[in-house]
């Protein structure tokens, strides 16, 4: 049960945060490769949302029925993009916030409760990055408090 690394991608597909917690889990990449990876993933994520083979029910019948006042439409869930990716050596969980920021957490294949971990990281992000008055939106994250809190949170999980 190990968390390998965390990558945060902004809504334009740019890499804004990248930290490795466990050496030896994944290959070491150059900064340039990480930027390419973030951009690629951003594009693939958009495509995976479009590939949805399940057709949602048509909305027309509801608006035609006289019983419904004002023709209220039941909107189907918008298609979500990639959430979990599995390979032989690792597992990648992606959390897409409502504002379009993506949190990618790389763990080993046996790690459980990854969605809980990633939500906690999102909380830390909103507390220590978004509430930091010196942080500029869409820019790389350089916040000491966020680094420290994140590191202690992940260390706790990796030492369990």
Residues of this chain that bind other proteins (CB under 8 A): 26-27, 29, 33, 37, 40-41, 43-44, 47-55, 58, 60-61, 64, 77, 79-90, 106
Q: Considering the complex, state which of residue 60 and residue 160 has its C-beta at the smaller distance from other proteins.
A: 60
Q: Give the C-alpha separation, 123 to 149, whole Å.
A: 11
Show the tokens assigned to 83: 């959430």
Q: Considering the complex, state which of residue 79 and residue 100 has its C-beta at the smaller distance from other proteins.
A: 79
Closest CB 115 distance from other proteins, rounded Å: 12
Q: Give the C-alpha separation, 63 to 67, whole Å.
A: 9
Show the tokens assigned to 135: 């942080």
Q: Considering the complex, state which of residue 61 and residue 69 has its C-beta at the smaller distance from other proteins.
A: 61
Show the tokens assigned to 15: 């890499």
Closest CB 95 distance from other proteins, rounded Å: 12
Count other C-beta atoms under 10 Å from residue 101's C-beta: 19
């Amino acid at each position: 049960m190990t968390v390998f690394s965390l990558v945060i991608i902004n809504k334009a597909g740019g890499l804004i945060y990248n930290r490795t917690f466990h050496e030896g889990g994944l290959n070491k990449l150059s900064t340039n490769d990480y930027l390419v990876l973030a951009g690629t993933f951003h594009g693939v994520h958009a495509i995976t949302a479009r590939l949805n083979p399940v057709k949602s029910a048509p909305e027309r019948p509801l608006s035609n029925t006289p019983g419904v006042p004002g023709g209220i439409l039941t909107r189907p869930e918008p298609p979500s993009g990639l959430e979990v990716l599995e390979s032989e050596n690792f597992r990648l969980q992606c959390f897409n916030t409502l504002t379009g920021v993506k949190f990618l957490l790389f763990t080993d294949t046996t790690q459980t409760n990854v969605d809980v971990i990633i939500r906690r990281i999102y909380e830390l992000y909103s507390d220590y990055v978004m509430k930091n008055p010196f942080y500029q939106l869409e820019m790389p994250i350089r916040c000491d408090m966020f680094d420290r809190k994140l590191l202690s949170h992940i260390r706790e999980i990796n030492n369990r």
